[in-house]
Structure 1
Amino acid sequence: MSSNEPPPYGTPPPEGYTPYGGQGGGYGGYGYPQPGYGHQPPAQSGMAIAALVTGISGIVLGCCCGLFGLVGIAGIVCGVMARKDIRESHGAKTGDGLALAGIITGAVAVAFGLLSIALLFVYGGIGVFSELNGDY
């Protein structure tokens, strides 16, 4: 074995030996940054997640009782605020799709809430009128 050859596999390298490329530690190489450097990945917007959660829960609850369509309004408001916040962060936050889905599901929840209130008045009104007429 000459002085320029690496030692056999499994034996520690001799003192002063540097691997090909002059880099030690086994990480990186040409064109690759060393680990731990660079920028942070963009963070998910918590407001966008809240918009989606309130929008979906508003749909579920809006089908049961019309007053829970108010939860859909919260989803719409959270979604609009989240999209504005994401736009103003210039790439530091993500979740625009979640915020848009929160706005859409919130609008559907409000529609279900209004529909259930309307059905309550229609069918409740029929019951009241049938009692006034003596029809049971």
Structure 2
Amino acid sequence: MSTPPPPSDGGYDPHSSAPTSGPYGSYPSAPGGASAMAGGQGPIDHPQGTTILVLGILGLVVCSILAPVAWYMGNNAMKEVEANPGRYANAQNIKIGRILGMIGTALIVLGLVFAAIIIIGAVVAGANA
């Protein structure tokens, strides 16, 4: 019993488990001839990835009200990334923007608590005077 000859075009042979040869050398084929990603494309950037990162940075450095927005958008985008593992190439940007949003939100809360303590202290001191 002999093995069948490789395809003449150097493409995928559905009857062979041996690696095929392509324009850049040999590489194993995906099972069933399907590509690793749907549609034969590699990972794509999440459409909100850069926006979340920028909002996280701006929320931490310039305008703190943007931090909760980055956190919220980051949570939603991470749900999409986790639902489709390997589909998005910029998941790291989403994670970083989300974390910056969390830090910025925590700083807002700490600032509000500090301001409330100062106001309460001033009211109590004014009432005792």
Bin of the TM-score, shorter chain as denominator length: 0.5 to 0.7
The separation in 2 between residues aligned to 1:94 and 1:128, in whole angstroms, is 53
TM-align CA RMSD: 2.5
Residue 126 of structure 1 and its aligned partner are, at CA, apart by: 1.8
| Offset from partner CA, 1:45-74 (integer Å, 9 cap, x none) | 231222222222222333xxxxx2xx3222
In structure 2, the partner of 1:100 is 95
Preserved contact between residue 79 and residue 103 of structure 1 (Cα < 8 Å): yes
Preserved contact between residue 75 and residue 106 of structure 1 (Cα < 8 Å): yes
Residue 107 of structure 1 and its aligned partner are, at CA, apart by: 0.9
Q: Superposed, which structure 2 residues align to 1:1-136 within 5 Å? A: 31-32=23-24, 42-60=43-61, 61-62=63-64, 68=65, 71-89=66-84, 91-134=86-129
Structure of larger gyration radius: 1
The separation in 1 between residues aligned to 2:47 and 2:83, in whole angstroms, is 15
- Corresponding letter in the other structure for 1:118: V
The separation in 1 between residues aligned to 2:75 and 2:126, in whole angstroms, is 46
Which one scores higher on RCO, CA 8 angstroms, separation ≥ 6?
Answer: 1
Q: Percent identity?
A: 22
The separation in 2 between residues aligned to 1:126 and 1:88, in whole angstroms, is 49
The separation in 1 between residues aligned to 2:124 and 2:107, in whole angstroms, is 25
Residue 94 of structure 1 and its aligned partner are, at CA, apart by: 1.6
The separation in 1 between residues aligned to 2:99 and 2:88, in whole angstroms, is 20
| Count of residue correspondences | 93
- Corresponding letter in the other structure for 1:110: T
Residue 43 of structure 1 and its aligned partner are, at CA, apart by: 3.0
Preserved contact between residue 76 and residue 104 of structure 1 (Cα < 8 Å): yes
Q: Give the match's secondary structure for 2:23.
A: coil
Structure 2 gaps, min length 5: 1-21, 25-39
Structure 1 gaps, min length 5: 1-29, 33-38, 63-67
The separation in 2 between residues aligned to 1:111 and 1:94, in whole angstroms, is 28
